[in-house]
Amino acid sequence: MPRLIRLCLCSALLACGGAPDDDGGRVLRFNLRTEPPTLDWNLAADSASFTLIEQLMRGLTRLDHDLRLQPALARSWEASEGGRLWRFHLRRDVVWSDGEPLHARQFVDGWRRLLDPRTASEYAYFLFAVRGARAFNAGEFDATRLGVSAPDAHTLEVELEEALVYFPALVSFMATYPIRRELIELHGDRWTDPENWVGLGPFRLKEWRHEYRIALDANPLYFAGRPWLDRVVAYMIDDFATELVLFEQGRLDLVELAPLEIPRYAGRPEYRRQPLLVGYYYGFNTRRAPFDDVRVRRAFAQAIDRERFPQLLRGGEKPSASWLPPGLLASNPGIGLAFDPARARALLAEAGVDPERLEPVVVGYNTNDPRHKLVGEAVQAMWSENLGVEVELQPREWKVYLKQLTVDPPAVFRLGWVADFPDPHNFMELFTSSSANNHTGWADAGYDALVERAAREPDPDERVRLYDEAQRILCERDVPIVPFFVSSLNLAVAPRVRGLKPNALNAYSFEEVRLD
Amino acid sequence: MIRYVAVRAAQALGVLWIVATATFGMLRLLPGGPFDREKALPPEIVRNVEARYGLDQPLAQQYASYLGGVLRGDLGPSYKYLGRDVSDVIAESLPVSLQLGAAALALALAGGVSVGLVSGMRRGRALDRGLVMLSLLGVSVPSFVLGAALILGVALYLDWLPGGLWESPAHVLLPALTLAALPLATIAQLTRASVIEVAQRDFVRTARAKGVPERVVRRRHVLRNALLASITYFGPLLAMLLTGSFVVEKIFAVPGMGRFFVTAVTNRDYPLVLGVTLVYAALVVVANLIVDLLYAWLDPRIRVRGESE
């Protein structure tokens, strides 16, 4: 027996494999938290995948840390027909990580693959503005009629269904990056394995131990110059306490702080905060009483004291009564219903609602983030205190909650919105009558028309005016939603890390990072 | 003996079929599907995604093609990890869980038997009382508390061992110890009780009366008989170490299969849930089968009864 035990112990200890990567080089380690579902940019649809693809790949344009649009693979571009036709001129010095030069045709291949119904890409709709794209994606005709072409190796021409002023910002998004069709056809789904992978970014895929870690090495062929770091290692540690212990032990350089860990780090030199284009709101189910009455909705909105949220959550939340977050064109803090309990009670009385007799108001939220419960309890207290109504909190598992929102939303529901691209259209389109993300049941033709006109309007001042008008309808006149606050990214960064600049879309590149 | 094994193996297959069917049914009853997103997808995209995974077919057909796949050894594609088959996911993560389980098993057996022996031989003395207290603690402290305490104490404050990850033998110790604590304490208690019982038996007294040296009495007579009790516990223990590692794997960031038990369900990754459940069910069934056969081999009475039936 003892020999058997010794044997078991030895084999167990030896079999763990994988030498520690403390090889003394310029190595940055961070916690990605979860396994990225894919590194195929035509298919990626989640933040873990996006974070890695940001290191591995580049597209026509790129948003810098102030969300200014910068040239990337395209050195310039121009529009004609008021923004319906676009021509992108590619850089001539770009080669893939295997040495193959970049060709405009590789964008055409990428867009066709993205939109091909057989690819089943969730982000195919990003290019629905391209002529014929939507019909092609619905399987109605073939790819040759798609409005994208490569007249020569360094020019890409795009024809849109309608003018779209923010199109160059759309093509900064990963789903629109070029592909190497011949390699994808050769390797199939395995093309994203490290031995098959090619890209155009500052780093190349070196190692992928599923559910554990991914290693990226500097790409010496990167068109903007080899990055300073030799290697970036992303771990997939999903336990908050464990990642912080490893951070404290110096085994991780960068950790995104979980909501409840933020107060412990605030004030320490490792703590970094970046406001995000992430809106947090409560929506009303306007199909059913009492929230079918706009006065009731306004009353509930004016009974919210937004200043309480940052005190409660302590994650750099910025209270906002308007919907467009700071940092976006047309963001206007002057819009929205302010906290006014007296006015709220008057509105409720005016609507003929007796708080004593009102059925408990159900507030739904999802349980995968502990902040939602804290916010829910705060709102419960505010509505009870300021309006005298009883509130029943209804926590639900995430997928159950999503189903409930599409089938039969609770009277009041929590949701958020994370910007896909930094244009107000991305936020305002959410509450149009045709949006699948509008769970309020509210529809307004005037609002729809304003949002649609603003998307085509080339003059920024006129766009701001149109969005102001639409925001007043949304946040003051009809109030199908109550914006609460704009969220922040909260990071713990080891003091030796220099040059890390996350932007408001929660994107950060390690291209410019150095270690002391 | 052969017939006994064949009957037990057929029963095991039946159990697996029931597990697969019940899991398939329960998953589809759960509200919310694999492609429900915070950002709702346009209808044509939902259709494309559902067509890709055959989710647009009638449920009976999906069930039939799933079972057919399982019989061919194909557990289907993961919905969450694009381009990876469930078999790949399991092939990469199961060995890690098995390594952790094996290390914990070794610790539990070696530690539990030693503690039980020492404790039983010194019954009633201070050392015995201390060890009994310790094993009571081991049985009652849940692994998430013990794991967190070990990380805080051994990793963070003492900085002796890494507080997580799976890189070197040093990384195995804390998770294996956390996982082994409960079975170690249980084995210690079982061994102690049977040592005390066996030590009072007639054959032990006879051996002593014949003048057999105490060392030989303990090893040949007491230890060997006391171990039978622990072997009884071996089956459930094996299953527990292999299936009970979810919490430990999560706390110590070990890339094993345990995490899929929860994440695959929250993602509604139907094929992965089914695959993981089937593999665990198979492990438990096989572990129990082995223990039954071990009994039959160790204790002739069981074998004789089994064959005469």
Q: What's the pLDDT tens digit per position in B24-33?
A: 999 999 888 8
Which residues on B lie below 8 Å from A188 (Cβ)? Answer: 83
- Domain limits at B117? 99-264
Flag whether pLDDT at A102 surpasses 70: yes
CB contact under 8 A, A237 and B253: yes
Flag whether pLDDT at A79 surpasses 60: yes
Q: Match 């085994």 to its residue by tokens.
A: A251
Segment A87-91 long-range contacts (CB within 8 Å, at least 24 positions apart): A87/A155, A87/A156, A87/A157, A87/A158, A88/A60, A88/A155, A88/A156, A88/A157, A88/A158, A88/A171, A89/A154, A89/A155, A90/A60, A90/A153, A90/A154, A90/A155, A90/A156, A91/A154, A91/A223
CB contact under 8 A, A403 and B51: no
> What's the whole-number mean pLDDT along residues A15-32?
67
DSSP type of residue A261: G
Q: Which amino acid is at B32?
A: G
Write down the pLDDT at residue A23.
56
The Cβ of residue A193 has, within 10 Å, a number of other Cβ atoms equal to 13
Flag whether pLDDT at A17 surpasses 90: no
> What's the whole-number mean pLDDT along residues B101-124?
89
Strand segments, DSSP code E, in A292-390 are 318-319, 361-366
Which residues on A lie below 8 Å from B47 (Cβ)? Answer: 117, 138
CB contact under 8 A, B165 and A235: yes
Flag whether pLDDT at A455 surpasses 80: yes
A479: helix, strand or coil:
coil
Q: For residue B127, is it within any domain?
A: yes
Q: What angle do CA A362, A366, A367 make, to 5 degrees?
A: 115
Q: b/e for B159-188, b at 16 or more Cβ within 10 A?
A: eebbbbbbbeeebbbbbbbbbbbbbbbbbb
> Over pLDDT 70: what percentage of chain B?
94
Write down the pLDDT at residue A75.
97
Contact, A241 vs B251, CB < 8 A?
yes
Question: Going by C-beta distance under 8 Å and a sequence separation of 6 or more, which residues neighbour residue A120?
Answer: B45, B48, B49, B51, B52
Ranking A169-173, A297-301, B115-119 by mean pLDDT, the lowest is B115-119
Q: For residue B225, is it within any domain?
A: yes
Ranking A62-66, A466-470, B200-204 by mean pLDDT, the lowest is B200-204
Q: For position B180, which CATH number holds?
A: 1.10.3720.10
Ranking A20-24, A44-48, A167-171, B120-124 by mean pLDDT, the lowest is A20-24
Write down the pLDDT at residue B293.
76
Flag whether pLDDT at B118 surpasses 60: yes
> What's the whole-number mean pLDDT along residues B134-159?
88
CB contact under 8 A, A242 and B259: no
Q: Which amino acid is at A17?
A: G
CA distance B215 to chain A (A): 17
CA distance A329 to chain B (A): 22
> What's the whole-number mean pLDDT along residues A491-500?
95
> What's the whole-number mean pLDDT along residues A16-21?
41
Burial bucket for residue A298 (CB in 10 Å: 0-12, 13-18, 19+): buried
Q: For residue B162, is it within any domain?
A: yes
Instruction: Region of B48 please: left (phi>0), alpha (psi -120 to 50) or beta.
Output: alpha
User: For an interface test with A, which of B29, B45, B223 has the most A Cβ atoms less than 10 Å from its Cβ?
Assistant: B45
Q: How confident is the model at residue B304 (pLDDT cuts 50, 70, 90)?
A: low
Q: For residue B285, is it within any domain?
A: no
Which residues on A lie below 8 Å from B148 (Cβ)? Answer: 241
Contact with chain A for residue B36, Cβ under 8 A: yes
Q: How confident is the model at residue A88 (pLDDT cuts 50, 70, 90)?
A: very high
Q: How confident is the model at residue B163 (pLDDT cuts 50, 70, 90)?
A: confident
Q: What angle do CA A482, A484, A490 make, to 5 degrees?
A: 150
CA distance B48 to chain A (A): 5
A86: helix, strand or coil:
strand
Write down the pLDDT at residue A515.
95
CA distance B4 to chain A (A): 28
Q: For residue B191, is it within any domain?
A: yes
Strand partners for A62? A70
Rg from Cα positions in chain A: 25
Flag whether pLDDT at B135 surpasses 80: yes
CB contact under 8 A, B44 and A138: yes
Among B298, B227, B272, B240, smallest CA distance to B79 is for: B272
Write down the pLDDT at residue A24.
66
Write down the pLDDT at residue A16.
40
Write down the pLDDT at residue A213.
94
Q: How confident is the model at residue A6 (pLDDT cuts 50, 70, 90)?
A: very low
Write down the pLDDT at residue B301.
63
User: For an interface test with B, which of A3, A16, A187, A277 has the most B Cβ atoms less than 10 Å from its Cβ?
Assistant: A16
CB contact under 8 A, A403 and B31: yes
* ipTM of this predicted structure: 0.79
Ranking A348-357, B237-246, B280-289, B300-309 by mean pLDDT, the lowest is B300-309
Write down the pLDDT at residue A3.
43
Ranking A6-10, A197-201, B103-107, B259-263 by mean pLDDT, the lowest is A6-10
Write down the pLDDT at residue A10.
40
User: For an interface test with B, which of A1, A4, A13 has the most B Cβ atoms less than 10 Å from its Cβ?
Assistant: A13
Question: Going by C-beta distance under 8 Å and a sequence separation of 6 or more, which residues neighbour residue B42?
Answer: A125, A128, A436
Q: Which residue has the higher pLDDT, B228 or A450?
A: A450
Among A462, A461, A464, A456, smallest CA distance to A129 is for: A456
Write down the pLDDT at residue A263.
87
Question: Going by C-beta distance under 8 Å and a sequence separation of 6 or more, which residues neighbour residue A70?
Answer: A61, A62, A63, A64
Among A179, A172, A185, A227, smallest CA distance to A203 is for: A227
Two tokens at A229?
């770091």
Contact, A201 vs A225, CB < 8 A?
no
Flag whether pLDDT at B72 surpasses 60: yes
Q: For residue B123, is it within any domain?
A: yes
Write down the pLDDT at residue B42.
84
Flag whether pLDDT at A246 surpasses 80: yes
Write down the pLDDT at residue A142.
80
> What's the whole-number mean pLDDT along residues A325-353?
95
Flag whether pLDDT at A237 surpasses 60: yes
Flag whether pLDDT at A20 surpasses 70: no
Contact with chain A for residue B42, Cβ under 8 A: yes
Two tokens at A97?
């990580």
CB contact under 8 A, B266 and A11: no
d(CA B199, CA A339): 79
d(CA A361, CA A387): 12
Max CA distance (Å), chain B: 88
Q: Which of A16-20, A225-229, B168-172, B259-263 has the highest mean pLDDT?
A: A225-229
Q: What is the DSSP string of chain B?
A: -HHHHHHHHHHHHHHHHHHHHHHHHHHHHSSS-TT--SSPPPHHHHHHHHHHTTTTS-HHHHHHHHHHHHHTT---B-SSSTT-BHHHHHHHHHHHHHHHHHHHHHHHHHHHHHHHHHHHHTTTSHHHHHHHHHHHHHHHS-HHHHHHHHIIIIIIIS--S-SS-SSSHHHHHHHHHHHHHHHHHHHHHHHHHHHHHHHTSHHHHHHHHTT--HHHIIIIIIIHHHHHHHHHHHHHHHHHHHHTTHHHHHHTT--SSTTHHHHHHHTT-HHHHHHHHHHHHHHHHHHHHHHHHHHHHH-HHHHHHHHH-
Write down the pLDDT at residue B168.
86
Ranking A17-26, B115-124, B187-196 by mean pLDDT, the lowest is A17-26
* Mean pLDDT for all residues in chain B: 86
Which residues on A lie below 8 Å from B93 (Cβ)? Answer: 210-211
> Over pLDDT 90: what percentage of chain B?
25
CB contact under 8 A, B165 and A40: no
Question: Going by C-beta distance under 8 Å and a sequence separation of 6 or more, which residues neighbour residue A496?
Answer: A253, A515, A516
Q: For residue B10, is it within any domain?
A: no
Write down the pLDDT at residue A18.
40
Query: Dihedral, CA atoms, A500, A501, A502, A505, nearest 10 degrees?
Result: -150
> What's the whole-number mean pLDDT along residues A62-74?
93
Instruction: Determine phi and psi for A114, rounding to 5 degrees.
Output: -55, -40
Q: Which amino acid is at B281?
A: A
Residue of B52, B176, B259 with shortest CB distance to A120 = B52
Question: Which domains are seen in chain A, by residue range?
Answer: 3-56+201-253+494-515 (3.40.190.10), 61-184 (3.90.76.10), 275-489 (3.10.105.10)
Write down the pLDDT at residue A238.
85
Q: For residue B301, is it within any domain?
A: no
d(CA A443, CA A136): 29
Domain count, chain B: 1
> What's the whole-number mean pLDDT along residues A336-360?
95
Q: How confident is the model at residue A393 (pLDDT cuts 50, 70, 90)?
A: very high
DSSP type of residue A189: G
Flag whether pLDDT at B244 surpasses 70: no
Write down the pLDDT at residue B45.
87
Burial bucket for residue A467 (CB in 10 Å: 0-12, 13-18, 19+): buried
> What's the whole-number mean pLDDT along residues B34-52?
86
Write down the pLDDT at residue B298.
64
Burial bucket for residue A425 (CB in 10 Å: 0-12, 13-18, 19+): buried
CA distance A397 to chain B (A): 8
Cα→Cα distances A322→A140, A414, A472, Å:
40, 16, 8
Contact with chain A for residue B81, Cβ under 8 A: yes
